[in-house]
A = this chain, B = another copy of it.
Amino acid sequence: MADFKLMRTLHQPAETKMVLLILDGVGGLSVTPGGPTELEAANTPNLDRLAAEGCLGQTIPVRPGITPGSGPGHLALFGYDPVTYDVGRGVIEASGVGMKVGKGDVAARGNFCTVDGAGMIIDRRAGRISSDEARPLVERLDAIELPDLQIDVRVLREYRFGVVMRGDGLAPNIHDTDPLVTGEPPLEAVASDPDSEHTAELVNAWVKEARKALAHEPKANALTLRGFSANPHLPQFDEIYGLDAVCIAVYPMYKGVAHLVGMGVHTFKGESPADEFAAARAIWSAHDFFFIHIKKTDSLGEDGEFDKKAEMIEKVDAALPDLLALSPDVLAVTGDHCTPARLKYHSWHPVPVLLWAPATARADAQKQFGETACSQGGLGTFQASELMPLMMAHASRLSKFGA
């Protein structure tokens, strides 16, 4: 991982602007022998120009062979070794909608689900109800009062909600209550260590009240909880790198992980790459480092939509001149992991990365942003958590080590 001690010692101020543009799940696989990946199939004249001027490589998000979730994938890109800094989903998502997870609090991610008369889950996502449909239900859950526990509940997106528990003696080591299949009931909350047993009991008491409050709903008549976790109190971005960093993302998950490392989270209108680049433009003078997150490349990979994923990459490419017009000094384009449409899920394959820095990049022999070119790029194959120091260097923000 990035050597935080070195970063703290060597970082120096500069006027430079850095952009970390994440195309979630960008890396892929060919669907025909010898054929292109999604990224290679996409027509990306702007990215290819940056590839020719800059330098390519491929990153290992966690360890060779390890498939990362979104949390670990992003922590690595921010310089944190995701095995050392193991952050739970609950705290990431709750933070992403601005819920405060303080010391001693326990956060979780909730899903509304539909159960039949026998209490068996028939839809794990409650018919994917909208955020608007979910809002009054979440308000009902938020109003539940228990003697030893304060539970705040907030809508995340659609059928998903964030939960933060506050009280004495809470501990987060509790198994998920989602059985992950239909035809079974939501699981009881079960502690995985003795310190968390009291918390599990409180959770079960709360779920009982919540089920009463939802009993007559047509779709969202039950719930599951996952990712029980405490705030890991990560070292903060400004203190490590001396950067004023900001997150431009649509989904709470990514805002959450940015918030946990101490980035500001910018609120803006719209969801397209062009909207996100416009958002960056609006606050360009106020920050040093812009983490811009594009979600749909991942979603389309998970749906197995090879062509649509390639088209999404083309949309990013088409909007890229707006971003380049801001004249960033350093631009890294990469993913937090691969999501090959062929596999329909996250994978462990190395992730293509493009590092462009007109003042300092050493151009390699590669001319196109794609997996094969990246595997032969001048940056080689390296841990994703080493990308931040490279970006810092190209931004003239690291002084010399030793005399």
Give the B-binding residues of A (Cβ under 8 A).
2-3, 6, 10, 29-30, 33-34, 37, 53, 58, 62-72, 82-83, 86-89, 92, 109, 226-227, 343, 345-350, 360, 362-365, 371-372, 375-382, 386-394, 398-403
- B67 and A3 form a contact (CB under 8 A): no
Q: Among the interface residues A58, A70, A403, which one has the most CB atoms of the partner chain B within 10 A?
A: A403
A387 CA to B58 CA in the complex, in Å? 17
Q: A363 to B67, Cβ gap below 8 A?
A: no
Minimal Cβ-Cβ distance residue in B for A399:
B67
B380 near A6: Cβ-Cβ < 8 Å: no
A177→B374 CA distance, assembly (Å): 46
Contacts of A402 in B (CB 8 A): 68-72, 82, 86-87, 89
Q: Does B69 lie within 8 Å of A53, measured CB to CB?
A: no
How many whole Å from A347's CB to the nearest CB in chain B? 7
Please tell me if the beta carbons of A400 and B67 are within 8 angstroms of each other in the complex.
Answer: yes
A65 to B390, CA, bound (A): 4
CB-CB under 8 A from A37, the residues of chain B are: 362
Assuming A64-B390, A360-B347, A378-B375, is B83 touching A403 (CB within 8 A)? Answer: no
Extra contacts, 9 of them, besides A3-B63, A66-B398, A365-B376 (Cβ < 8 A), are A3-B66, A6-B83, A70-B402, A89-B402, A109-B403, A343-B360, A346-B400, A372-B378, A380-B380
Residue of B with least CB distance to A5: B83
| Shortest CB distance A148–B (Å) | 28
**Contacts A63-B386, A362-B29 hold; do A72 and B401 have CB atoms under 8 A apart?**
yes
A375-B386 contact, Cβ under 8 Å, with A58-B380, A348-B398, A401-B69: no
A8 to chain B, nearest CB (A): 13
With A6-B66, A34-B363, A83-B6 in contact, is A350–B375 under 8 Å at CB?
Answer: no
Give the distance in Å from the alpha carbon of A400 to the alpha carbon of B2 in the complex. 23
Question: Are B3 and A83 in touch, CB under 8 angstroms?
Answer: yes
A388: shortest Cβ distance to chain B, in Å?
8
User: Which 8 A-B residue pairings sit nearest by Cβ, starting from the closest?
Assistant: A380-B381, A65-B389, A89-B403, A69-B402, A65-B393, A375-B378, A72-B402, A64-B386
Nearest CB of B to A24, in Å: 14
Instruction: Among B62, B372, B376, B400, point to the contact of A69 (Cβ < 8 A).
Output: B400
Question: Which of B53, B66, B376 contacts A401, CB < 8 Å?
Answer: B66
A70 adjacent to B365 (CB under 8 Å): no
Most buried by B among A387, A388, A401: A401
Complex Cα gap A377–B89 (Å) = 35
Query: How far, in whole Å, are A382 and B72 apart by their CA atoms in the complex?
Result: 21
Looking at A86, A376, A387, which has the most chain B CB atoms within 10 Å of its CB? A376
Q: A64 — which chain B residues lie within 8 A by C-beta?
A: 382, 386-387, 389-390, 393
A63 with B6, Cβ < 8 A, contacts A30-B363, A69-B400 known:
yes
- A207 → chain B closest CB, angstroms: 20
Beta-carbon nearest neighbor of A382 in chain B = B64
